[in-house]
């Protein structure tokens, strides 16, 4: 099992997503997505290389999906860091994950 961290950017992303969902779709939808993200985190802890490699975003960067959101993370040296959680329609750029 890898050491597991969630970057401040990813924490902020998730908070924003859940706030938006609660406002636009209701608290039950927001709670459901919160649990889906948490379930994905648990999966990553056990299987850190499950996400698709994204070398165009940087070394050791991978991506998993909790539709319609993409979870961008780095797995390197026994440490997994969730860098960002973004909507699938958003264009990915390496600059989005700098400092994560």
d(CA 25, CA 87): 16
pTM beyond 0.85, yes or no = yes
Identify the structural domains of the chain with CATH numbers, from first to last: 3-97 (3.30.2310.20)
The sign of the CA dihedral 35, 41, 46, 47 is: positive
Question: How far are the Cα atoms of 20, 32, 91 from residue 27, in angstroms, in the given order?
Answer: 10, 9, 27
Query: What does each of the 100 residues of the chain score in pLDDT, given as a tens digit?
Result: 679 999 999 999 999 999 999 999 999 999 999 999 999 999 999 999 999 999 988 899 999 999 999 999 999 999 999 999 999 877 766 556 664 5
Give residue for tokens 């994950």: 97
């Amino acid at each position: 099992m890898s050491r597991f961290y969630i970057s401040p950017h990813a924490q902020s992303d998730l908070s924003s997503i859940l706030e938006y969902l609660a406002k636009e779709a209701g608290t039950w939808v927001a709670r459901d997505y919160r649990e889906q993200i948490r379930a994905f985190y648990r999966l990553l802890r056990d299987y850190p290389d499950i996400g698709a490699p994204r070398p165009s975003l940087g070394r050791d960067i991978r991506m998993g999906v909790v539709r319609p959101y993409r979870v961008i993370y780095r797995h390197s040296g026994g440490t997994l860091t969730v860098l960002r959680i973004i909507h699938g329609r958003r264009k990915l750029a390496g600059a989005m994950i700098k400092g994560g």
